[in-house]
Structure 1
Amino acid sequence: MNDTDEKLVFAQERSVSAQSTQHKQPWIVLIVDDDDEIHSVTKLALSGVTLDNKPLRFVHAYSAAEALQCLQSTPDIAMVLLDVVMETDDAGLRAAKAIREDLENDEVRIVLRTGQPGYAPEERVILQYDINDYKTKTDLTRAKLLTTVISSLRSYQQIRTINESRRGLEKIVNAAANLMERHSIYNFSEGVVTQLASLLGLKPEGLLCVRQLDAQNDILVLGAAGHFAKGIQQPLESIESPFIVNAVRRCLERREHLFLDDASVFYIDAKGIQAAAFIESSEQLSDVNQKLIQLFLANIAIGFENVKLFEDLRTAAYKDSLTGLANRAEFIRQLDSALADGEDFVVAITDINHFSDVNDALGQDVGNKLIQAVGNHLAVQFPPPSLVARISADVFGILSRPKGVTPDSMRDSFVEPFTVDEHRIPVLMTTGFSNKHQALDGLDALKQAYIALKNAKNHRIEANAFYHPSMQAETERRLDLVRNLRSDFLQRRLQLWFQPQIELGTGRLVGVEALLRWPQADGSFIAPDIFIPLAEYSGLILDIGHWVLEQACQAMNEIAGDVCDDFRMAVNVSVPQFRQNNFAGEVAEVLARHQVPAQRLEVEITESIVMDDPNLVARVLQQLKAQGVRIAIDDFGVGFSSLSYVQRLPLDKLKIDREFVRSAHTHSGAVIIETIINMGHRLGLQTLAEGIETEAQADYFRQLQVQQAQGYLYAKAMNLEALRAYVAANPCV
């Protein structure tokens, strides 16, 4: 459950006051009754009542028809006190039905009141009509009436909040899609201003200011709209408004949003820059709008990279862009230099335990800030002549003189938790140590420290380990697996199995996913998550990947006569395949040789593949797309999901991970699933739910308009012989 959910479900009670105060937006209550005395009594009973510091305002109608007219002309009515018997015996019931079905108003709360309870029994009315309460007029004392009104208004407010959030998320998807099409730096920046204003329902009057992190006093107006447009590419001080200049500077100095009486200033934190978007507005932002804007700005920060806004700030070849520390290449270079000079040294490779949990729980932005904080802390603890480097995601390296870095010094350095934003995060490090004595070169010394690190993580007796040659036993075991894999592959013992993909609306077979299997002599199988990484590490994945593509095309030809024209064969592709020369050309050659139309092939990639090298992946996928090959994201939502790459890549399909399918019955799981599906629909992408095992799951995703499904409910993965039989039993119709 996220913060928004908690505030909705566990909203604090606010006092109900009977004192008359002046407010801008009162609660509007529609009283519908053909008895004028009922109007007077109700108004008198509720006179002076306020809820959440907002008074009640009454609108009156004396018939069902008049009530419907009021609801059409006054859309913000929160509650209707509706008499059952008016111009006809069931006028109120008909009006309640018309409000929901004809006016399509599902927000207003309806309380039916009757003086003849026997005419319309309570149980039948509650079950048959979408109302919130059903009371007899004699039962509605002032206290009971007040209770009914308060509960109805609170329910109305919660429903409005949910609907506003949903509409806001749809706007964000559309706005982000618009911005990602802008390739000019200044056009993009102007778009940020106009889209922010659009999200808030305001006129586009504002500006976007940027400060480079290495030029603290250089604030530039990079984008502007409305009467600020003439300030583009000018220093902030050129804006003839001390109020605006001071507000922007305060926002950048505090690194937080500012919500002022006549404006809002939004802080944007991207790699290498700080930015502030100033929007003129006298309206106070609601909590919902503030959260939606924060979500939008998170994607805007990524957008700055996509348009290469600050290419001059891109990190040099030997510097890590996030932390400013040396990177892996520089670390190895310094190791080689120390070995060449005959210096005695110790190498420590240390990483943050359970760092992925921080990213998952607090977000990637907090994770990045924690990486920066840990990097800065290590640089202070181990100053020159020691060298601190960021080796990979959450892995740091320390090159120091003997005893310059030890298990004790590492442990003592991480006693206190780190403060990141409002979070206090305890950090535990695991460290592997090596020295020069057994290292052939800098890379060898680094590898030995990595082996020690992996050993420490596997055994967890201590938070550190020193490299010992015996640690290579595990490495040897992995090498044995690689050798066996290579041998079995060359002897054609690997198998390609297939799992059907079904069209949810019709039950029609529309495709299969090709799945690699490695059988053993005893009839068991080695899990793909064990041997695929080994194949990638060894480079064998290139040959295996080519073989899989060949086998998939052969299988496609064997079943082509029994499947529909839109049937597709899905094949998984790994990072090394993307990195090989002319992968797209290889795919085209195989398809042509087997005479398989490119439209029959669907390439599946995971989010981790995208994040490994986004530019390379995007380029290769564009080449495949140009041939007609379809592109799918597998296990969507479990990696570094962002609107940035979803819109940047030429995707056709989002596959919803089976873990989300299993959690569909939970509130948080349902919210995530619906968000993914809505995003897919908005972007014109097909959606497929993986791991469907029950009819209930299938019905759930069918109602959400997910087009396709895959899972044990329909069929397990099967070999080619079983697939031929399955296709024959499920021909194209």
Structure 2
Amino acid sequence: MSDEVFSFAAESAQQGSENGNGWKILSVEDDATYQASLLHNLRGITVDDSPVNVLTASSAAMAASVLSEHPDIALVLVDVVMEEDDAGLTLVRSIRDVLGNSAMRVILLTGQPGMAPRKEVMEQYDINEYWNKSDLTREKLHSVVRSNLRTWQYMDNLNHARKGLQVIIDASRNLYSKQDLAGFAEAVLSSIGKVIDAEGGGIVCSSSSFGADQFEVIAGSGRFSKLNGKTLTSDHLAKYHATLQQAKASKEHQFEAEYTVLYFETAHIDGYQYLVVVDGQVKPSEHQIYMLQVFSENIRTGFANVALINRVSMVAYFDEYLGVFNRNGLLREIGSMSLPERQRSVLMLVSIRRYPDMMIAFGESYCRNLLMRFMEGLNDVIPDYTCFAVVSSGVFGIVLDKTLVPEPGVMEMAAERTLSIADIEHHLLLSFCRADLSMMAELPAQEILQLAEASLVYANEKNISYTEYKDDYRIQIRDRTLLLQKVQQALLNRSLTIMLQPKVDMLSNEVVGFESLVRIFDEHGVMIPPLDFIPLAEASGLITLIDQQVLGMSLEAIQTLSSHGYALPVSFNASAKDLFNRNYSKAIFSVVTNKLVVPELLDIEITESEMIADFEKFDVLLKQFIALGMGVSIDDFGTGY
């Protein structure tokens, strides 16, 4: 049976004779005889001068339909065993979890107590009462119905207050800090003040981790408003000491004649306990105390929500090992900064060069200790900051006021550091990148960080210890992106062209061959310089696709030249990735084997540095090409030497 009965069911429910204004009750019972008995016993009942209207359903599926049509049902009487053995329990779970209705009162009824033992059911399901059908006499039924309907009314009236607390929680910017907990606690005090007349008195909220003896005041109102930060052993709270200890020991609310102590805990989430002292000038009535008991459930949920959000925030926005912001935390901090804050702030990125190699050599645990020591030393260089974060492996991000940024010379001097871990000295080389947020004030946080990282990568590649993000860098990146799109489009449209550059014998001045040079023209017919798009294609991985198309066009050029009587070899560039691509080399062998091109007219050019880097693999493949009669040339030979 599905856990969510609200995903099906279309039967129409029977309704009681009353269907006007008043209280609404739903009886879910598949025993027609017992259902009729319930209707008879509830006929004519009123609560606070309002009639009770009874709706009926004979299955959990039918109940789903009724509940969807009547969201103002206050009380549901649910039989445990109906179309399935656990149909009633499934309905209860659906009311709470699927509909999200925590205010609706739920009374479980059973004629077979052994099918759903009371203790286990009360522990596992959010139900309000559990009765054996045989024990529920007419008088008891009326008492139970009236009590639960009044409780529902109280909870419904307090629903707005609960929503107000939720808004406070959701609207808080930094829910992981103690300040946010204090803000929530202040909202609790304000809301309790509306439930109970505490004028002239006061309310105080305190917290403590399990095992700690002292509770610290995190919020106070009325005569307790100046106790923030003090402990509950303060002389100001002497009259409550015994009751506070009793609440802590019993883990239950304590209702005294003149004051109340409420107990809450989030032990299963973060191990905290909370004690709230409510002491008004006027003794609260029984009605007010009962409302306070009901409202305490909202407070308990609120504390749990704060604890859960704190926990989620820690996982989402903090590095669990180093205890500082992670990348998401840094992005959130930058994203939440106002325009004036960005105008006066700087993002500093610091990277440890070759840190991934250190991870491989020494292991994660060892390098974690190394980073902790490194962070301590970094605080000496940049002591005053707004935000400190781990951006990626071996890279840190720091947000600080531009007036507090060290001079470039200071950072260049700090770019070499020696740390000792477990009697091993590590000589670290650092790269610093400064990115003034004023230059990127209107950009989203993600783009700001990416631009700063791109500048840092440039510094690492050039072995520069200090660099600064330039205002035109974003324009350069945009232009490269647009150019890359043009290259991709040319590949997609197969609009690449080649130019055959003659190879001339310097003695005879005769043309002895050609080299295929790839060219791309934009939509206006203007040629894009190869020095612009070739490095970009290599960096993006598109060079392999370009080489494949150039190979095809070179073969066509050889065939065209041959048809006009020019049997001259044509050379074409091939990268290491090309040659180790089975489809690429297979295409070359296929052309020669099928005699589509004379092998002596094919000349492969390979960059010297690539061939030397993996000579053994190249040697085997190139010997196969040479054995076929093809030519092999080295491109850029000796460049840079």
Q: What TM-score, normalized by structure 2, do the two folds share?
A: 0.32
Structure possessing the higher relative contact order (Cα contacts under 8 Å, 6 or more residues apart) = 1
Q: What TM-score, normalized by structure 1, do the two folds share?
A: 0.28
Instruction: Give the greater-gyration-radius structure (CA).
Output: 2
